[in-house]
């Protein structure tokens, strides 16, 4: 009969051999990890490129809008100055002194009666035809003068 110590000694080399067999390393081909990085790098590059192009287009459109705004502001300034000049001219033409001078120059009379001849029937006479240019063609003996609209 063998003793347990002897049995243990004979078993240890067998266990060690099995462990050594299992622990042996074998050479395996390396995995390529660069293939997984390439799509990511391409995606990031594409996003950056599209962002830069978008910024350039946005900047261009903003510059065009600024030029259009400047042109419209200049046009508004010009039109405002023209409006002011026309308003000043209109004020001069509406001035009562200026209206009176024109009336004297054209031989108009300031009567309360708007009829050209001053009569109740508003028949034409030679004197009214001379004073009012529009009444010259309409004034014939026996006809009434009509004002142009």
Contact 139, 128 (CB under 8 A): yes
pLDDT along the chain (149 residues), means of 10: 63 73 76 73 96 98 97 97 96 90 79 55 51 51 49
Which pLDDT does position 103 carry in this prediction?
86
Which pLDDT does position 149 carry in this prediction?
47
Length of the chain: 149
Supply the DSSP string of 53-91, one letter for each residue.
HHHHHHHHHHHHHHHHHHHHHHHHHHHHHHHHHHHHHHH
Which pLDDT does position 133 carry in this prediction?
53
């Amino acid at each position: 009969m063998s003793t347990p110590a002897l049995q243990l000694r004979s078993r240890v080399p067998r266990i060690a051999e099995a462990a050594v067999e299992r622990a042996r390393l074998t050479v395996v081909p390396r995995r390529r990890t660069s293939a997984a990085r390439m799509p990511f790098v391409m995606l990031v590059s594409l996003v950056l490129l599209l962002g830069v192009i978008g910024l350039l287009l946005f900047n261009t459109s903003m510059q065009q809008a600024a030029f259009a705004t400047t042109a419209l502001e200049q046009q508004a300034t010009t039109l405002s100055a023209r409006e002011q000049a026309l308003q000043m001219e209109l004020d001069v033409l509406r001035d009562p002194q200026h209206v009176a001078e024109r009336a004297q120059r054209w031989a108009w009379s300031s009567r309360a009666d708007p009829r050209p001849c001053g009569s109740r029937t508003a028949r034409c006479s030679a004197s009214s035809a001379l004073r009012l240019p529009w009444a010259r063609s309409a004034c014939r003996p026996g006809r009434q003068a009509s004002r142009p609209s």
